[in-house]
Amino acid sequence: MLDVCLLGTGGMMPLPKRYLTALLVRHNGKSILIDCGEATQVPLYQSSYSVKDIDHILFTHFHGDHTAGLPGLLMTMGNSMRTEDLHLWGGAGLERVVKGLTVICNHLPFKIVCHELPWKEQSVFQAGELMITAQPVKHSVPCLCYSLYLPRIGKFDVEKAKALDLPVIYWKHLQRGENVEFEGKTFTPEMVMGPTRRGLKVSYATDCRPSADIVKTVADSDLFVAEGLYGDEEKWQSAKEKGHMIYREAAQMALEANVGELWFTHYSPAMTNPHEFLDKAREIFSNAYCGSNLKEKTLRFKDEDESDA
């Protein structure tokens, strides 16, 4: 399963009741943070998640409302006596940006590892058990959207395992994807595992204009967290000129991408009531919701037994 927590929903600046947009995704006790604007650690401390469990931070782009919270978060991690490497992912220039942001973070007890991704072509990498796709998007500066996918192995076929005459104590290793050596023979997971099943997918796109590339990247996501800078149609031209989306555009992409659920985020400070425009968005995509501070959801694998029958 995947635990998802939207730490904040604001754009440009944190407000008293609206933290800056950041998303936390947790699997098996380890977390991935997407974006880290000013004061991101405040809602993090209000949540049930720990800063010590964050092993990866993904940056969509380098505007301050997505990066300026990094120094404080790093110092908090250091004070918690974290020693494991912290992996940072972002477009070309990430290392230079991180170097500037961390001037005040002296003597951290852990290593920061920067991974620079291309701004102009899609890239795929692994973080823990999650496969992550970084897709370039159109904004006022180079920017990426991310899709996180947790694969699911096939079902273990007991009858096939019995037919191999392999002792039961070795079965768990095959289930974990490991090869087994027994009596001079090599047994592989493919011998006992069924076809790969549908996994879980979370996608995140903010500070961007809608595009077919985004639709393709986020296709079939269980949860799509997308920018809705404005809900008001009259603000569309302003959003377009600044490289942003409004509710209607995010809802249309959610529909075309066949996602399970849509959360709006990255609201303009000028939009004081995001729910005011939700009904119009639901006319396009019915399973749309307004994101809010600490909005959470646990995604679980669907039981595919019936669909496989």
Annotated catalytic residue within 35, 53, 65, 85: 65
Q: Is residue 121 part of a domain?
A: yes
Sign of CA dihedral 88, 90, 94, 99: negative
User: Annotated catalytic, 65?
Assistant: yes
Q: pLDDT value at position 176?
A: 84
Q: What is the CATH number of the domain that holds 256?
A: 3.60.15.10
Q: Is residue 177 part of a domain?
A: no
Bridge partner residues of 84 (DSSP): none
In the chain, the number of structural domains is: 1
Q: pLDDT value at position 299?
A: 98
Range of the domain at 32: 2-153+196-308
User: What is the pLDDT tens value at each position of the chain, 309 positions in all?
Assistant: 999 999 999 999 999 999 999 999 999 999 999 999 999 999 999 999 999 999 999 999 999 999 999 999 999 999 998 999 999 999 999 999 999 999 999 899 999 999 999 999 999 999 999 999 999 999 999 999 999 999 998 888 898 999 999 999 999 999 888 999 999 999 999 999 888 899 999 999 999 999 999 999 999 999 999 999 999 999 999 999 999 999 999 999 999 999 999 999 999 999 999 999 999 999 999 999 999 999 999 999 987 434 443
Q: Is residue 173 part of a domain?
A: no
Nearest to 204 by CA among 157, 160, 278, 147: 147
Question: Residue 72: which residues within 8 A CB-CB, separation 6 or more?
Answer: 39, 41
Q: pLDDT value at position 96?
A: 98
Q: Is residue 235 part of a domain?
A: yes
Q: Is residue 172 part of a domain?
A: no
Q: pLDDT value at position 307?
A: 44
Q: For 172-189, what is each residue's pLDDT tens digit?
A: 999 888 999 999 999 999
Q: Is residue 182 part of a domain?
A: no
Cα separation of 246 and 224, whole Å?
15
Q: pLDDT value at position 298?
A: 98
Question: Residue 154: which residues within 8 A CB-CB, separation 6 or more?
Answer: 193, 194, 195, 196, 197
Q: Is residue 16 part of a domain?
A: yes
Q: Is residue 30 part of a domain?
A: yes
